[in-house]
Structure 1
Amino acid sequence: MRRTRAAAIGAVVISLLATATACGGGSSADGGSNESPKTLTYWASNQGPNIEADKKALEPELKKFEERTGIKVKLEVVPWSDLLNRIMTATTSGQGPDVLNIGNTWSASLQSTGALLSWDDKNFEKIGGRDRFEESALGSTGAQGQDPAAVPLYSMSYALYYNKKMFAEAGITKPPATWDEMVATGKKLSKDGKWALGAEGSNLSNNIHQVFVLAKQHGADFFDAQGKPDFTSDGAVAAVKQYVDLMATHKIIAPGNAEYAQNQSLSDFAKSKTAMVLWQAAASTFKSQGMDASKWGVAPVPVQSGAPGQGRNLNSMVSGINMAVFKNTKNADGAMKFVEFMTSDEEQKILCKTYGSIPPVKAAQSDPAFDRPELKVLRDTLATSAAPLPQVPNESQFETVVGTAVKNLFATAAGGGAVTTESVKAELTKAQQQMPKQ
């Protein structure tokens, strides 16, 4: 999944998930498909640098779909800060779109509402078959053992982006491969009003993505084998502390980053205010902010030791966007045709080139555009050293409460307060207490 969500969503999501029923989709109040079988509503997630950029990218493709099928698609690009809340409201009110994008980490949570169409073999056959998609991408489409609640649309992984000029000026010849190297490199770069690493302390989803990976590197998960929250294990605590310590102890992240939200760390990087940033498929955003591709390099996210791989050397979550259909859409045939169109080899090449993502459709990856050095790092990471976030019904609440715990700890660090093992564990204990009882 990309981008962030507001902290206030947490209580809303917990309440809505507890009461949601399978009643969403196709509402005339939202211009849904019961107006006409030749009309679909589509909520797209904000993938580009801004909403207008997404409209510019998507509208020609939607026009192409209309010319081929006679079905008009009413597009709304929804910011990440609003998307989950909008979706959850739609599942309870019945006033929602026919087709929508979801962050892949939300798949199991939204699946548990019963509002989304299930992608059984019969439905997959309508869009060319399940085996067209990368297995790693399908791993983030719903709870294990159940038919997926969505299909993969854009695949991404995290990478370390670095400023070549700033590295050269500091006498640094290669990007850090381990976290110890990150700290050592970072101290050389954090000077003269500039900082080594960008972060977004108020971006709850990004906080989760970083500490999930670090927890894996410490041999921990945030849920046990039964899907119950386990936020206070030694490994989870160590992971959160290690991330926040990049600001609190090592001082290679600017204190002001504690308040940063969606894309602010990317803006600083593009303006050479920071030398590194950990992000997923960032090339299009850098380009939109005037940073030429020749000015930055890309490398795998650091690990504790050795090289990226499975087990404790995982260095990314399986990131991406899925496409879902509300179960009771009044235009099921049209919705299926639209999903087929958006996941076609042709459209996958067009859209993933635009957004700098990896096509989850295997045949589309043959395009030479996806062999660029940056995308090769992302592809290799997805193939060899990435894991999906927990596919459990309460995953979205986990992102909110643990993401907020990390946000609070960054705020403490920015204010000069001590971030200790005990204070980290206290924040995570509070977060776990906010999870729904199972």
Structure 2
Amino acid sequence: MRKTRAAAAVTVVTVMGTLLAACGGGTSSDGGGSNEQPKTLTYWASNQGPNIAYDKKTLAPELAKFQKQTGIKVKLEVIPWSDLLNRILAATTSGQGPDVLNIGNTWSASLQATGALLPWSTKNFDAIGGKDRFNASAVAAAGAPGKDPAAVPLYSLAYALYYNKKMFHDAGITTPPTTWADVIKDGKKISKNGTSGKWGLGLEGSNLQENIHISYVLAKQHGADFFDKSGKPTFTSPGAVDAVMQYVDMMQKDKIINPGNAEYAQNQSLQDFAKNKTAMVMWQAAASNFNSQHMSPSDWGAVPMPVQSGAPGQGKQVNSMVAGINMAIFNNTKNVDGAKKFVKFMTSDAEQVILNKAYGSVPPIKTADSNAAFQQTDIKVMANTLQTSATPLPQVPSESQYETQVGTALKNLWANVAAGKTVTKATVKSALSKAQQQMTQ
């Protein structure tokens, strides 16, 4: 995970404009740049599948197809999520980045503020078929409001609650949960106060992004946010504290989460799910991961993420952040035209079907998500969530710092519970206060 390296790295955001001016970018904001058009593009892809080898196998034939069509070779590097933000921030500082890269859509506004990414003006969108091709919710998570997006939606995702049908059947649970109270009730039937050797719910306490995503959703359900309308952090608001306390208590008080999950970082909770050790997981596009664990689609089900009461919707009924992957172009690429051709290729209807089918994600392209490949239950749950009950994480310049600071605060709280220490609301508020103090203004 990011750990302390990220905490240091994010401080470069506030000075990035000056640093980039010294790097000598190769294009204007609309992609003017040099007439020289290299025949190779470097591409940093995010790790979307169960492992890096899966991503390379998935992307290789598509990159070969692009080279055949255009004569442009794409040099691929798949980067784990634990390293991706640090690598991007280092590249924006040095000016030595790839031509094209994937970014988590929650980072869009932060990276936009550095000036390192090509703005997607109307002219640039027109070069890839137009902005109207993309779903509005996906574009809303591509940069700060009122500014040209910093990236283009590539894969859309939302959280769903996945449940292990065998474990539910064995526990006598006939219907999946819809509220957090249901999750706790069902989880207790399975974990039996932590004595059964099985657990109701899995999480990855050392995964900073997951910590942020779930705590943000819970905060929205408590009528709170982690920033005010001006973009100022409000980490210690009563609703934010209540949200984090509710989350932590699922391990501490309700005992439906294995304390060992505090150390989990990436995909371990899915492995426990596949081995009938954990009955429920909260995840984005888990199908390819389950397949890699030799689970049949008949072994698991998917339902919308729980709410406090009632049904998912807007306001306090938000049950996911707008998750997904965006595709960006570094401003100092020597081949902006080739880079835009590559983005156009990757967001074409045909490629969107191929890639999103491989990753179990939802195409952000309006004409692609109705394809028969995306009609299975879990994909439809995610698509409906994106349309009706998801909201973007705060599109503020300090968002990446927020992920690091609050994500780390949650990580430490999980570790305290796992070590047998009591976590109270005062403990939570203190941890969030410390995280807020460490934010760079």
Bucket of the pairwise TM-score, normalised by the shorter protein: over 0.9
1:349 corresponds to 2:353: yes
Q: Is the 8 A contact 1:41 1:97 kept in 2?
A: yes
The CA deviation at 1:8 is 2.1
1:76 corresponds to 2:72: no
The aligned counterpart of 1:310 is 314
The CA deviation at 1:106 is 0.2
The aligned counterpart of 2:168 is 167
Which one is further off, 217-226 or 258-267?
A: 258-267
The CA deviation at 1:18 is 2.5
- Give runs of aligned pairs for residues 41-52 of structure 1, distance below 5 A: 41-52=42-53
The aligned counterpart of 2:30 is none
Structure 1 residue aligned with 2:273, among 249, 257, 269? 269
Q: Is the 8 A contact 2:158 2:324 kept in 1?
A: yes
Q: 1:57 to 1:24 in 2, by over 3 A?
A: farther
Structure 2 residue aligned with 1:16, among 6, 12, 16? 12
Q: Deviations over 1:376-402 (max 9, x none)?
A: 111110000000000000000000100
Amino acid at match of 1:370: F
The CA distance in 1 between the partners of 2:70 and 2:14, in whole Å, is 39
Q: Is the 8 A contact 1:162 1:296 kept in 2?
A: yes
Structure 1 residue aligned with 2:221, among 217, 220, 223? 217
Q: Is the 8 A contact 2:36 2:334 kept in 1?
A: no
The CA distance in 2 between the partners of 1:34 and 1:382, in whole Å, is 41
Q: Is the 8 A contact 1:25 1:98 kept in 2?
A: no
Amino acid at match of 2:15: T
Q: Is the 8 A contact 2:313 2:389 kept in 1?
A: yes
Q: Deviations over 1:187-208 (max 9, x none)?
A: 0011421101001111011000
Amino acid at match of 1:242: Q
The aligned counterpart of 2:58 is 57
1:197 corresponds to 2:201: yes
The CA deviation at 1:341 is 0.2
Query: SS where residue 8 of structure 1 aligns?
Result: helix
Query: SS where residue 367 of structure 2 aligns?
Result: helix
Q: Is the 8 A contact 2:2 2:86 kept in 1?
A: no
Which one is further off, 395-404 or 186-195?
A: 186-195
Q: Is the 8 A contact 1:155 1:321 kept in 2?
A: yes
- Give runs of aligned pairs for residues 390-409 of structure 1, distance below 5 A: 390-409=394-413
The CA deviation at 1:51 is 0.5
Amino acid at match of 1:99: V
The CA distance in 2 between the partners of 1:162 and 1:77, in whole Å, is 30
The aligned counterpart of 2:428 is 424
- Give runs of aligned pairs for residues 268-417 of structure 1, distance below 5 A: 268-417=272-421
Amino acid at match of 2:306: P
Q: Is the 8 A contact 1:49 1:288 kept in 2?
A: yes
After TM superposition, the score normalised by the length of structure 1 is 0.96
Extract unaligned runs of 5+ from structure 2: 27-33
The CA distance in 2 between the partners of 1:16 and 1:291, in whole Å, is 43
The CA deviation at 1:272 is 1.2
Amino acid at match of 1:146: K
The CA deviation at 1:113 is 0.3
Amino acid at match of 2:82: S
Amino acid at match of 1:75: L
Amino acid at match of 1:244: V
Aligned residues: 428
The CA distance in 2 between the partners of 1:366 and 1:312, in whole Å, is 29
The CA distance in 1 between the partners of 2:156 and 2:367, in whole Å, is 14
1:126 corresponds to 2:143: no
The CA distance in 2 between the partners of 1:127 and 1:10, in whole Å, is 33
The aligned counterpart of 1:29 is none
The CA distance in 2 between the partners of 1:234 and 1:368, in whole Å, is 45
Amino acid at match of 2:331: K
The CA distance in 1 between the partners of 2:381 and 2:4, in whole Å, is 35
Q: Is the 8 A contact 2:158 2:385 kept in 1?
A: yes
Query: SS where residue 119 of structure 1 aligns?
Result: coil
Q: Deviations over 1:127-173 (max 9, x none)?
A: 00000000000011000110000000000000000000110111101
After TM superposition, the score normalised by the length of structure 2 is 0.95
Amino acid at match of 2:178: A
Query: SS where residue 351 of structure 1 aligns?
Result: helix
Q: Is the 8 A contact 1:24 1:96 kept in 2?
A: no
Query: SS where residue 54 of structure 1 aligns?
Result: helix
The aligned counterpart of 1:433 is 437
Query: SS where residue 362 of structure 1 aligns?
Result: coil
Extract unaligned runs of 5+ from structure 1: 27-32
Q: Is the 8 A contact 2:37 2:338 kept in 1?
A: no
Amino acid at match of 1:398: Y
Amino acid at match of 2:14: A
The CA deviation at 1:25 is 7.3
The CA deviation at 1:16 is 1.8
The aligned counterpart of 1:242 is 246
The CA distance in 1 between the partners of 2:108 and 2:286, in whole Å, is 23
- Give runs of aligned pairs for residues 28-39 of structure 1, distance below 5 A: 37-39=38-40
The CA distance in 1 between the partners of 2:252 and 2:380, in whole Å, is 33
Please, what is the CA RMSD of the aligned residues? 1.5
Q: 1:24 to 1:154 in 2, by over 3 A?
A: farther
Amino acid at match of 1:182: V
Q: Is the 8 A contact 1:134 1:361 kept in 2?
A: yes
The CA deviation at 1:236 is 0.1
Amino acid at match of 1:317: M
Q: Deviations over 1:115-138 (max 9, x none)?
A: 100001000000000000000000
